[in-house]
């Protein structure tokens, strides 16, 4: 196994992401047990994310990408993926055990590989399929 700096960094960030996602799943369950709805939890989650990340926009040169067409595409992506997809995923936490939702959520890489094959004509490498 020949791992370079980028491999180790990628694995470390993926593990950190997994830890934070697991914490998010537990937090959703705890907040739902306290009587908060998924809509309320998602509203505050996205609102706070926006407040935290908005200052970064002032330090990034967005001029090559800043157009009404790109803004429209980002708006559609935000609605589809940030609101609908994560909303459905988080809504399911209140309907079944969190462990089942987490396990079913791990089908995402398989679906992403199928999408990449169908829409981008990318064939996954054998190591990606094995993983």
pLDDT value at residue 1: 61
pLDDT number for residue 33: 83
Q: Residue 120 is encoded by which pair of tokens?
A: 């981008």
Of 66 and 41, the structure prediction assigns the larger pLDDT to: 41
- Give the pLDDT of residue 119: 84
**CA dist., res. 73 & res. 2, Å (int):** 39
Residue 56 has pLDDT above 80, yes or no: yes
pTM for the model stands at 0.53
**Whole-number Å distance between alpha carbons of 38 and 27:** 11
Which residues have a Cβ under 8 Å from the Cβ of 94 and sit 6 or more positions away? Answer: 32, 38
């Amino acid at each position: 196994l020949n791992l370079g700096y980028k491999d180790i960094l990628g694995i470390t960030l993926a593990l950190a992401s997994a830890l934070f996602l697991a914490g998010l799943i537990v937090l959703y369950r705890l907040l739902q047990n306290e009587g908060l709805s998924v809509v309320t939890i998602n509203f505050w989650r996205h609102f706070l994310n926006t407040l935290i990340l908005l200052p970064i926009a002032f330090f990034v040169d967005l001029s090559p990408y800043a157009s009404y067409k790109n803004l429209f595409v980002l708006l559609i992506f935000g609605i589809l993926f940030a609101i609908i997809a994560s909303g459905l995923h988080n809504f399911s936490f209140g309907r079944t055990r969190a462990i089942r939702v987490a396990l079913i959520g791990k089908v995402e890489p398989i679906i992403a590989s199928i999408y990449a094959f169908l829409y981008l004509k990318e064939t996954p490498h054998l190591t990606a399929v094995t993983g």
